[in-house]
């Protein structure tokens, strides 16, 4: 039988990984697909740099659009990234009747709707296993194994850069800026780390997972996103004493026809499975009515793990899969209301910087009582190595964000409180 022909757009870290995986495992892949997978074209503006991989010069081109339109090509792999030209490439490829495989979570979560619609109209697949959790098989698991389940909640550590930084701050101390600089030096953080450390990348990923898990169209702009940049050494010290770890957690829940979706630093009990996920590893917990909880973990990024997922998608397309790209036909995806952050209830960690004067706890607890916020734990430590002020931590029982925020605003006006209060969420 004829080989399946793949056109690769972008010959960078992931793209060159894809070439390596296709070359190294070609015999295994052919066995599993029943046909040869042939890399027929590679498009990149830079054709000079050595990618540590041998390819026939004849398949190299700088014209990505020509590859997308090439009638010989069956599957386009987009590893260009970004939400600009990548969208045009994918649109062109789909319009020319090709399946598309991508790891581009920013594009799919922010501007994916017309592309998914076009794919379905064309009867083609737009696959993105590599967009979330690198080689962790979460996307396909939601579309296949868990197609029989009503998923209630997804809870994940989805960004390796953040988890590396948080692990280091927890284990070795130090302040955020130093550890970030170290992560950058070691290649675990980008030169511009904004998308990672401010939580945007994590939000892209949870949006895609929620879409499949709940059969929903997710309006990305409505996701509540907090990053990890406001955490300080004191928070890690308090977390340790509270037997907790701070992780950047993405949560998506569906309850009573509404979706709750957010990204925020969260204090987890140290014995909880996600608290034990350290370094650049990612992990995703899925809760369902019938299955209880499953957890998938592994390398969340990296050239070869990501490429393994991309080639897994190429194989799915080559095998002629009939599974819709997001698990449910596009016309059946629903637009559930997204809960406003004000209305979301959780437990809270409040760290106040207080003056060392009498009556502080009385004044703060007065305000909390006014909003009917009940205190679960209270902890004041003489951590003057961290700050001029005395840090005071209060853990609140489950309550709505709105009430907590109002109380904190009022407390911040008290004379005995200096600076801004740190508000973190707590999950069991």
* 99 vs 93: CA distance, rounded Å: 7
Distances (CA, A) of 135 to 81, 103, 129, 245: 18, 11, 8, 25
Residue in 10, 215, 227, 265 binding a second copy, rule: CB under 8 A: 215
Nearer to a second copy, 34 or 84 (CB): 34
Does position 156 interact with a second copy (CB under 8 A)? The reply is no
Does position 255 interact with a second copy (CB under 8 A)? The reply is no
Extract the tokens encoding 424: 């973190």
Residue in 129, 201, 260, 347 binding a second copy, rule: CB under 8 A: 129
What is the DSSP code (8-state) at residue 338?
Answer: B
Q: Residues 65-104 vs a second copy: string with x where CB under 8 A? A: ----------------------------------------
Does position 257 interact with a second copy (CB under 8 A)? The reply is no
CB of 261 to a second copy, least distance (A): 19
Residue in 69, 85, 117, 147 binding a second copy, rule: CB under 8 A: 147
Nearer to a second copy, 150 or 230 (CB): 150
CB of 78 to a second copy, least distance (A): 17
CB of 280 to a second copy, least distance (A): 10
- The alpha carbon dihedral of 234, 237, 242, 248 has a sign of positive
Nearer to a second copy, 326 or 425 (CB): 326
What is the DSSP code (8-state) at residue 373?
Answer: P
Extract the tokens encoding 295: 């957890």
Nearer to a second copy, 40 or 408 (CB): 40
Q: Is-contact 41 73, C-beta < 8 A?
A: yes
Nearer to a second copy, 12 or 414 (CB): 12
Distances (CA, A) of 196 to 8, 15, 86, 110: 26, 21, 20, 16
Residue in 53, 242, 294, 381 binding a second copy, rule: CB under 8 A: 294
Contacts of 148 (CB under 8 A, 6+ apart): none
| DSSP-assigned letters across all residues of 396-415 | EEEEEHHHHHHHHHHHHTST
Residue in 140, 168, 205, 351 binding a second copy, rule: CB under 8 A: 140
Contacts of 84 (CB under 8 A, 6+ apart): none
Residue in 123, 187, 257, 292 binding a second copy, rule: CB under 8 A: 292
Nearer to a second copy, 99 or 425 (CB): 99
Distances (CA, A) of 257 to 290, 327, 336, 337, 376: 19, 19, 6, 7, 31
Q: Is-contact 286 194, C-beta < 8 A?
A: no
In 3-state terms, the chain is what percent helix, strand and coil (to 5)?
Answer: 40, 25, 35
Extract the tokens encoding 78: 């987009």
Q: Is-contact 302 134, C-beta < 8 A?
A: yes
Q: Is-contact 180 193, C-beta < 8 A?
A: yes
Three-state DSSP class for 317? helix
Does position 117 interact with a second copy (CB under 8 A)? The reply is no
Does position 332 interact with a second copy (CB under 8 A)? The reply is yes
* 260 vs 126: CA distance, rounded Å: 26
Does position 13 interact with a second copy (CB under 8 A)? The reply is no
Does position 135 interact with a second copy (CB under 8 A)? The reply is yes
CB of 359 to a second copy, least distance (A): 45
Residue in 195, 304, 381, 414 binding a second copy, rule: CB under 8 A: 304
Q: Of these residues, 205, 247, 253, 339, which one is catalytic?
A: 205
Residues in 17-36 that interact with a second copy by CB under 8 A: 17, 20-21, 24-25, 28-29, 31-34
Is residue 398 annotated as part of the catalytic site, yes or no? no
Q: Is-contact 249 268, C-beta < 8 A?
A: yes
Catalytically annotated residues? 205
Provide the binding-site residues for a second copy, judged by CB under 8 A.
Answer: 17, 20-21, 24-25, 28-29, 31-34, 129, 134-137, 140-141, 143-150, 215, 273, 276, 288-299, 302, 304-305, 307-309, 311-312, 314-316, 319-324, 327-329, 332
């Amino acid at each position: 039988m004829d080989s399946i022909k793949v056109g690769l757009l972008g010959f960078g870290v992931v793209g060159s990984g894809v070439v390596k995986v296709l070359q190294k495992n070609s015999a295994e892949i052919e066995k599993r697909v029943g046909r040869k997978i042939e890399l027929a074209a590679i498009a990149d503006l830079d054709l000079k740099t050595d990618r540590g991989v041998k390819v026939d010069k004849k398949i190299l081109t700088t014209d990505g659009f020509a590859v997308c339109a090439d009638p010989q090509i069956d599957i386009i792999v987009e590893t260009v990234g970004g939400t600009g030209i990548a969208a045009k490439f994918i649109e062109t490829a789909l319009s020319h009747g090709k399946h598309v495989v991508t790891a581009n979570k920013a594009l799919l979560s922010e501007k994916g709707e017309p592309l998914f619609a076009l794919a379905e109209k064309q009867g083609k697949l737009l696959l993105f296993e590599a967009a979330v959790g690198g080689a962790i098989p979460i996307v396909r698991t939601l579309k296949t194994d868990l197609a029989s389940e009503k998923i209630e909640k997804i809870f994940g550590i989805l960004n390796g850069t953040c988890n590396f930084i948080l692990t280091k701050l927890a284990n070795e101390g130090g302040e955020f800026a130093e550890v970030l600089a170290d992560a950058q030096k070691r290649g675990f953080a980008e030169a511009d780390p904004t998308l990672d450390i401010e939580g945007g990348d994590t939000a892209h990923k949870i949006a895609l997972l929620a879409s499949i898990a709940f059969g929903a169209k997710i309006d990305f702009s409505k996701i509540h996103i907090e990053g990890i940049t406001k955490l300080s050494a004191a928070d890690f010290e308090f977390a340790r004493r509270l037997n907790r770890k701070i992780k950047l957690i993405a949560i998506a829940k569906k309850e009573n026809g509404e979706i709750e979706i957010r990204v925020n630093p969260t204090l987890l009990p140290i014995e909880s499975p996600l608290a034990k996920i350290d370094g650049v590893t990612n992990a995703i917990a899925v809760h369902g009515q019938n299955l209880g909880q499953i957890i998938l973990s592994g390398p969340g990024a990296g050239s070869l793990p990501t490429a393994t997922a991309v080639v897994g998608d190429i194989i799915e397309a080559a095998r002629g899969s009939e599974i819709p790209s997001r698990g449910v036909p596009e016309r059946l995806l629903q637009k559930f209301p997204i809960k406003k952050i004000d209305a979301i209830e959780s437990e809270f960690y409040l760290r106040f910087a207080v003056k060392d004067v009498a009556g502080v706890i009385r004044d703060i607890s007065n305000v909390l009582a006014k909003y009917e916020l009940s205190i679960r734990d209270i902890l004041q430590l003489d951590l003057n190595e961290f700050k001029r002020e005395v840090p005071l931590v209060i853990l609140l029982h489950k309550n709505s964000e709105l009430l907590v925020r109002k109380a904190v605003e009022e407390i911040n006006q008290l004379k005995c409180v200096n600076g801004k209060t740190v508000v973190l969420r707590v999950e069991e």
